[in-house]
Amino acid sequence: METIGREVVIENEMGLHARSAAKIVQISERFDSQISLCRDGNVADGKSILDILTLACPKGSVIRVEATGPDAEQAIREITGLILRGFEEK
């Protein structure tokens, strides 16, 4: 099965913190696909808050969101959309 992905920049002031990681996990858990977040060669499970937090992403970080599975395109679209909207923190 093909893996698809997209790079996005973390734009919110606080970076990728626990609340924003929880939002990613909430979205990821709705999908059957395997979802990963990647930064500087490190890979985190998109369905694990602790894993995502190990990426340590401050504002301006570039991360790649990848998904493999039957609903991968929709998962990428929703997760990258959340990130591009600054995790809806404003």
**Which residues does the annotation mark as catalytic?**
17
Phi, psi of 8 (to 5 degrees): -140, 160
Q: Quote the CA–CA distance of 30 and 86 in Å, as a whole number.
A: 20
User: Is the C-alpha dihedral spanning 8, 81, 53, 17 positive or negative?
Assistant: positive
